[in-house]
Amino acid sequence: MKAPTFMIEDQLNDECERLETLAPIITAPIRHHVFVCTGKSCSAVDSAAVMAAFDQELRARNLLFGKEKKGKNPKGSIVLTECGSVGFCAVGAAVMVYPDGVWYAKVRASDVPEIVERHLLNGQVVERLALMQLPVESAQPELC
């Protein structure tokens, strides 16, 4: 008698392979996701320069995840996202680092190399800029 075949397992494997093709981020070694507020209040204190500084610093260190044809690293460990708000625009430019749950306030472009070096690479919160840190769980979700 032939052993049963479970079709759903084959479908899941096919879906995971297709998902990896469509969204290569799921196989990248992502360690951090940095959100930079460029909303109205933060833009008034030059958050665009903060965003540009993160982009430049992360590219220079080959850490910025993204498409190679856009000058980024497909195996980069940091995702950078511009957003409308991280919740503390009154003390902008505001930056949030996930999954660490750290909100930075009054960030200037000149602060970015320190945040990258100390926090993103060495796991040390830059206390002079940290507004708050939320407790986070260390469990990593599994997708495929």
| C-alpha distance across the termini of the chain, in Å | 31
Q: Which two tokens stand for residue 133?
A: 């840190």
20 lies in a domain?
A: no
- Rounded to 5 degrees, what are φ and ψ at 131? -85, -45
For residue 38, the model assigns a pLDDT of: 92
> For residue 58, how many other CB atoms are within 10 A of its CB?
25
Q: Say whether pLDDT at 5 is over 60.
A: no
- Structural domain that includes position 74: 28-133
Residue 118 belongs to domain with CATH number: 3.40.30.10
Does an H or E element contain 81, and which?
A: strand 78-83
Contact (CB, 8 A) for 81 and 35: yes
- Give tens-digit pLDDT for 23-53: 777 777 889 999 999 999 999 999 999 999 9
Residue 21's pLDDT band, with cuts at 50, 70 and 90, is confident
- Give tens-digit pLDDT for 43-97: 999 999 999 999 999 999 999 998 888 888 888 899 999 998 888 778 889 999 9
pTM for the predicted model, two decimal places? 0.80
56 lies in a domain?
A: yes
> What total number of domains does the chain contain?
1
CA distance 124 to 126: 6
Contact (CB, 8 A) for 78 and 63: yes
